[in-house]
Each structure stands twice: as C-alpha cells, then as structure tokens.
Amino acid sequence: MVLGEAAAAVDWLMDKSLVLGYTKIGPAVRRAWWPHDPAPGALVGRHVLVTGASGGLGLATARGLARLGATVHLTGRDAGRLEAARASLLDQEPLAEVVVHVADVSDLAGTRQFARDFMADVPRLHAVVHNAGVMPPRRTTTPEGHELALATHVLGPHVLTRALRPALADGRVVVVTSGGAYGQRLDAADPEYARGEYSGVTAYARTKRMQLVLTELWAGDLAAEGIRVHSMHPGWAATPGVTESLPRFAALTGPLLRDADSGADTAVWLVATSDPIGTGGFWHDRRRRATHYAPVGVETREQVEHFREFVADATREALAGA
C-alpha cells in the first residue's frame, strides 16, 4: 500500500519518536491507513508452526492465526505450559485445530530431529513463525557450547528453517525480532558474546540485529523455492518478555504498552496476507521499516559474509543430511 504524503510523514515521525510508534498509540493511528485485514478463513486448510507459543506474543500469534482458520502448531519447552496455552486457545476459539509439540529451539540437534518428525506428520507447511526468545540474566551456554540467546534466536531458527525447507516450498517464514536491534551493530567478530561484560539485555538486542541480517540472507537463499521470508517487530507490548525481563521499563511505560494481540498483529498479517509484499522485508504495523534507525553502523558486505560463514559452521553438524 502506498501512503499519501501526509500519512507517510506522520507514520515516519511516529516511528522515529519511538513512543508514538511503538506503544498502543501506533496501531490506534495507523489503522486508518494500513493494509486491509486478511480475508476471513484465509488460512483454512493450512498448517502454521509458531515457536515459543506457550504465552505472550507467541500465544497471541497462534490465536490470530487460528481465527483465520489455520491449524496451529505450538512449540515450547514446558509440556504443562503448552497444554495450558492450548486450553486457553480452545476456550477462546472452540473450533480451532491446535497441536502442541515439546521442543527446545536452542538444542540444535534436537531441533533437526523435531523438524524430521514434524514433516512426517505435516508434509506441507504454510508458514513458520520464529517467536521463541530468551533474555538470560548471565552468560549461559547450551550443552552444544553456544551462548543461549544466540542459540535460541539465531542458530536454532536457522536449523529449523533449513530442515523444514521441503515442507515450506512456496510458504512463508516470519521472524519476530525487536526494535532493540536498532541499538546494536552486527558483531560478526564475537557472535558468541565471549568478550566483555555480559548483559542479558545486550545479548538479546545483539541477536535481534543478527536476526535482521539472517532474514535478508534467507530471503535470497530460499527465493528459488518460493519461500518468502520477513521479519517484524511488535513494538512495546505488555507480555512477560517485557514485564518480567524489563520491570523498570514496564513500570514507566505500562499505561501505553500494547496488548499481546496488537503486538502480534503484523506477524499474523505477514502469514496470511494475499498482498504482493515480496520477500526480505522488516515490518512494523504492517509497513516496511528501515533495518537501521539511522545510516550509521551499517554492516559491511564482509561482516555479513563472515556472519553467514559463522552460522553455517555452527549449524553444519546439526544440519548434516538435511
């Protein structure tokens, strides 16, 4: 959708102000000009996989997809929380088809096996939504030796996307990232965050920057198979990821925070829209956004290639035979 000059100017100012664009003010204003909703029943007969869907944005995304008729597959690490999420969805959408899978995306070998088992039951997948997220309070490594935020946000999604390629042909991949990526540059020299004082908030934002780069790489790599790839950020939403991990921020912005459904809206739209939106975009409130807040600190071609090589090397064993 091409905005008129006045709407485009307002939208740009809201985006750069952060508060106007990222809070519940954003969709309240932008709804006047954003693209139309997907048609009712747009996803009937289609399967969509949502990672990290036990609560928060993941559960809200699954709810939005179920309302459009999708069979939604929820993954998470805790069976009890997954069953509670399924019960919550069915309470709100009694006719929904909801399947739960216990899976930890930070476990690269386990993720490859999960994909193999999943495709045996679901040979055609309309979309995968990479929503699983962590903000470790201290540097933690997985049993495979990778920093936890990196494994959860970057390496695991790469394994899952690559492994699901046969089922995803002509499908879609949506990466739920964060506006926090604007505050970090691509660190291709130390992707495991092994140097310097560790901060969970920084680890989260670093890997969200990596997700933006990975989205563009996937878009190029998967285009021949008809797989469209996009990333989006939800703005500031009242979810456990904000209220529990960033309590001071949540206290300051509480009255202005979006609800989870509003935060998930663009992810649902990207999965379901019939609009010709191409591939490789970074979206917020149903509109493409720049991947950098300002044209400084933009990753070089060499840095991107170094990052690509790192991801390939780190996931090679898990993807062997995929």
Task: Name which of 301, 303, 230 is nearest 267 in CA terms.
Answer: 230
Helix (H, G, I), strand (E, B) or coil at 167: helix
* One-character DSSP codes across 276-306: ---SSEEEETTEE--SSSSSSSPPPHHHHHH
Q: How far apart are CA 284 and CA 286, in angstroms?
A: 5
**Residue 200 bridge partners (DSSP):** none
| 51 phi and psi angles, rounded to 5 deg | -85, 155
Helix (H, G, I), strand (E, B) or coil at 87: helix
The tokens describing 71, both together, are: 């069979």
Answer positive or negative: Cα dihedral of 146, 107, 57, 322: positive
Asked if 77 and 283 touch (Cβ cutoff 8 Å), the reply is no
Q: Which residues are catalytic?
A: 204
* One-character DSSP codes across 33-80: TSPPPPPTTTTTT-EEEESS-SSHHHHHHHHHHHHTT-EEEEEES-HH
b/e map of 202-241 (b: 16 or more CB within 10 Å)? bbbbbbbbbbbbbbbbbbeebeeeebbbbbbbbbbbbbeb
Neighbour tally for 122: CB within 10 Å: 16
Q: How far apart are CA 207 and CA 186, in angstroms?
A: 8
Beta strands in the chain (DSSP E): 47-50, 71-76, 97-102, 127-130, 172-176, 228-232, 281-284, 287-288
Q: How far apart are CA 156 and CA 131, in angstroms?
A: 11
